[in-house]
A and B are shown apart, each in its own frame.
Chain A
Amino acid sequence: MTTADPAAPTLEVVDLVKHFPVRGIGARGVVHAVDGVSFSIGRGELLGLVGESGSGKSTVANCVMRLVEPTEGTIRLKGADITHLSRRALRPLRGDMHMVFQDPYSSLDPRMTCGQIVGEPLDVQGIARRAALDTRVAQLFDRVGLRDELRFRYPHELSGGQRQRIGLARALAVSPTLLVADEPVSALDVSVQASILNLLRDLQDELGFSCLFITHDLATVEYLCDRVAVMYLGKIVELAPTRELFAAPKHPYTQALLSAAVVPDPVVQRSRSRVVLQGDIPSPLEPPSGCRFRTRCPLEHRSAPTSHEVEPPLVDVGGDHYVACHLVGRGREAPSLLDPAELVG
């Protein structure tokens, strides 16, 4: 099925798996980068995908964009299955989804002028040529707040923030239904990040595209996204509307993550209690059996031995809130890591 269904969500990802085989000296095996991830993004919705390094969030983005081939699972764009489409069959759909990368220094072709970079997708998709192309590119530069003369400059002549605006203009040139943004502001200075985030929000309001926003920064997600999915070691551990997730995080990992984020206010920051997780994220070559978070979970003594044997499914606990934890369920109060009574047997 490759026909688009107007009522379907913009993006549906079902049981996505991506394994990378490793063959090297002394290391052999499979990196479980993404291990069964499902979510969907509605029309005009911004979904934040949060996780630490090695959680698999960027691999999800690359699978969605079909930059890497998924091992298993299904990816549907506007209802049409694109999981295994050939490059050729995928080409007309390329206009429907576009990506903005983290590093504005290496993701723009240094031999093209900024105008050519922004115009390229329009040209490739056959949307505009010559004079019409010039006009459209000029409009796009204006829309993302870049001076017109920058069309004739090369990327190295621009600052990081300006380059990221070029990245956005290029991504939005063909009016995609889905924008995938992988850490788009992480490489920028604080004072420049704000203007890019504001711009992204303005453009989204105006153009109404859906967005998969990938980041490690919780504050950015809270500012920008409608819903948030939290990933840990290749799995989604919690998925909820933004307000709900930040007000009442249920998964122990989400609670630890939220408590560890620093708030730029000494009064607030110094009165917060925080949970410091022991150890490091395990190797995705050999993820722990059962619950993947159990090796660092402060509540492991309560979930064992089940958590060692059974992998907790992502279940609906009510209010569009999904959690993958043996200790959390519908109608049950989620344990709080900040309550000392919970931490002793």
Chain B
Amino acid sequence: MSVLEVQDLSVRFDTDDGQVHAVDRLSFSLGEREVLGVVGESGCGKSVSFMSLLRLLPETAVVEGRAEFDGVDLLRAPASRLRRIRGRDIAFVFQEPMTSLNPAFKVGNQIGEVLRRHLGLSRGEARRRTIELLELVRIPAPERRVDEYPHQLSGGMRQRVMIAMALACDPKILIADEPTTALDVTIQAGILDLMRDIRERLGTAIVLITHNLGVVADVADRVIVMYAGRKAEEAPVHELFAQPQHPYTNGLLGAVPRPGVAGVRGRLREIPGRVPSLASLPQGCAFAPRCPRADDRTRSEVPELREVRPEHLVACFHPGPDA
């Protein structure tokens, strides 16, 4: 059973430099209790696609496709309906916990606002529930923290507050966009444990958007690798790391130093060139200019996604793990 079904999602922006295709025909589904990892580098469209689902993008964005959630197409639902879904059924956690909290309000009031607005709780009930939520995300002394302002909390603590706020209405889907990127590793470990815990205890489906392959390896069930607005590869997590098919995925895996593996004085694999500008994508496969396997066909024709192994999709004419 899937809780979210996305079909051919495209996002375009009209800019001075011409039309920018931020997301190009992205399709995927999110299962119940599933942790879906979405990996890619800056500008690959990973954040934009999920923001477009909740219609959080500016009006200059042209969004096409279907996104079915609970019998509704999110991209066409009336604004009033969408407001009830946003924050209640589908909740977002952003990368920067300092800028996503309002510095002028106590954290308790910010979480309480969500509860009063979406669930119609009274002030007293909202406060009690807020303390429970802070406990759930393992903030010590929640009775005291509830009356503190964001600047009184550390970065890791703020991110926990953001997660508590996202979980306030017991959402079906939690979308976490780089939730640990701004945090130190020892704090990151705690947040990742919390994500796992939320899925286990509350059954929430989680979308984890990240550039960090280690984070994905740690918590995701299934992974989508994006490149230049398109899905390059999709597979269950163990399958993806054991049998990476797309040369970009292979490149990424070789580019990260691994503890104990690279060895002293080894070399990292490089991906030559740079991420292409979305305003001037190459004609064929977007990865072709950087790809060691590129040939004439790759440079003229866009490879469609196909299933090369069970549950394993790849958009490449020459798939397979690197030798």
Q: Which residues of B contact A (CB under 8 A)?
A: 41-42, 140, 154-157, 184-190, 192-193, 211-218, 237-238, 241-242, 251-260, 262, 264-272, 274-275
Contact = CB atoms under 8 A, between A and B. Distances in A.
- Helix, strand, loop or mixed for chain A's interface? helix
B266 A256 contact: no
A260 interface: yes
A243 interface: yes
Contact of A190 (B157, B255, B260): B255
Contact of B256 (A201, A258, A264): A264
A277 interface: yes
Nearest to B214: A262
Interface in A157-198: 159, 161-162, 189-195, 197-198
Contact of A276 (B193, B214, B252, B258): B193
A49 interface: no
Interface string A190-216: 111111011001000000000000001
Interface centre among B186, B242, B270, B271 (most CB of A within 10 A): B186
Nearest to B221: A266
B214 A256 contact: no
B108 to A, nearest CB: 19
21 contacts: A53-B184, A189-B275, A190-B211, A194-B256, A195-B271, A197-B268, A198-B267, A198-B268, A218-B185, A224-B257, A246-B259, A265-B217, A266-B217, A266-B237, A267-B238, A267-B241, A270-B217, A276-B193, A277-B190, A280-B154, A280-B157
A279 B156 CA distance: 9
A262 B190 contact: no
A279 B140 contact: yes
A269 interface: yes
Given A190-B255, A223-B266, A216 B241 contact: no
Given A52-B184, A216-B185, A264 B270 contact: no
A60 to B, nearest CB: 17
B154 A270 contact: no
A193 B41 CA distance: 12
Contact of A262 (B156, B217, B241): B217
Contacts of B254: 194
Contacts of A220: 257
Given A190-B211, A195-B270, A277-B186, 17 more contacts: A189-B41, A192-B271, A194-B255, A194-B271, A219-B256, A219-B257, A222-B260, A242-B264, A257-B186, A262-B218, A263-B258, A264-B216, A264-B241, A265-B241, A265-B258, A267-B241, A276-B189
